[in-house]
Amino acid sequence: MPSSAPTPLPLATLAQELTRFRATRPLVHVLTNEVVQEITANVLLAAGAAPAMIVAQEEVPAFAAIAGAVLINVGTLHSVRLAAMEQAVNAANAAGVPWTLDPVAVGALKYRTDFCRELIRQKPAAIRGNASEIMALAGAGMGGRGVDSTSGSDAALDAARFLAHETGAIVAVTGETDYITDGKTTLATPWGHPIMTQVVGTGCALSALVAAFTAGARNRLDAVASACAMAGMAGQHAQKHSQGPGSFKAAFLDALYHIQPDNLAEISA
């Protein structure tokens, strides 16, 4: 599994992906946790996608099949929602709709860890998590390679490459720097600000944006990296124009709404 060192996502690639994304206004079928439904919908709307939270077993299969992309987020997983998620993944796969997994808190809790490990056998298009989630999801497979014993982001990058290789997904491990990998090539995006971790749902909403960018993507690695870059840039810009986590959230949505292919240099400055 040879892999090259991370390289920065070029702004020109982001501009292309953003142009494509805005032109298609993808419909995203969101199955997420109870806490972040509103911010997830608002991030998708502000960025330029169309969210739809459809949860009933009577509706999920038909809707997942016509969506541009599907998001599965296990933050407040319970048995009824789990069954709907399985339906959505099956319907998405049957219809060729890409689906993205956000493995919230996997590793710490066996129920969701078992479920996510089963899910990643179902050909996710993308997986987005923080370092500990990505390491935990990869952990069993990596076995004696000792993920937990090595340090921070390097260990997570190894785990991300392993996961991408095993599942065929683009894996994004986000933190101070975001790494996005297909197992061979790894892109890095440096934007963002630590205040984002003090606002619930910024990570979960990023996963929804990742899903949105996979809709109709020709190059999924570029698409997922562009979603991470867009959110990171908007966050960095918003932090400069706010006074704390409350005003940050409004400024973040405003920035997502105003980012354009021709103002990336300005927003990310």
Query: Residues comprising the binding site for ATP?
Result: 128, 174
Task: State both tokens at 118.
Answer: 């089963």
110 vs 218, beta carbon nearer its own copies: 110
11 vs 55, beta carbon nearer its own copies: 55
> Which segments are annotated as binding site for substrate?
53, 201
> Which segments are annotated as binding site?
53, 128, 174, 201
SS (H, E, C) the chain: CCCCCCEECCHHHHHHHHHHHHHHCCEEEEECCCCCHHHHHHHHHHHCCEEECCCCCCCHHHHHHHCCEEEEECCCCCHHHHHHHHHHHHHHHHHCCCEEEECCCECCEHHHHHHHHHHCCCCCCEEEEEHHHHHHHHHHHHHHHCHHHCCHHHHHHHHHHHHHHHHCCEEEEECCCEEEECCCCEEEECCCCHHHHHCCCHHHHHHHHHHHHHCCCCCHHHHHHHHHHHHHHHHHHHHHCCCCHHHHHHHHHHHHHHCCCCCHHHHCC
68 vs 183, beta carbon nearer its own copies: 68
81 vs 161, beta carbon nearer its own copies: 81
80 vs 94, beta carbon nearer its own copies: 80
The minimum distance between CB 153 and its own copies, in angstroms, equals: 21
37 vs 219, beta carbon nearer its own copies: 37
The minimum distance between CB 87 and its own copies, in angstroms, equals: 12
The minimum distance between CB 239 and its own copies, in angstroms, equals: 12
The minimum distance between CB 243 and its own copies, in angstroms, equals: 5
The minimum distance between CB 1 and its own copies, in angstroms, equals: 33
Positions in the binding site for its own copies (CB under 8 A): 33-39, 41-42, 45-46, 51-59, 62-63, 75-80, 105, 108-112, 197-201, 242-247, 249-255, 257-258
**From edge to edge, which strands make up the β-sheet containing 50-52?**
7-8, 186-189, 178-181, 170-174, 126-130, 99-102, 69-73, 27-31, 50-52
The minimum distance between CB 252 and its own copies, in angstroms, equals: 6
Task: State both tokens at 231.
Answer: 């959110």
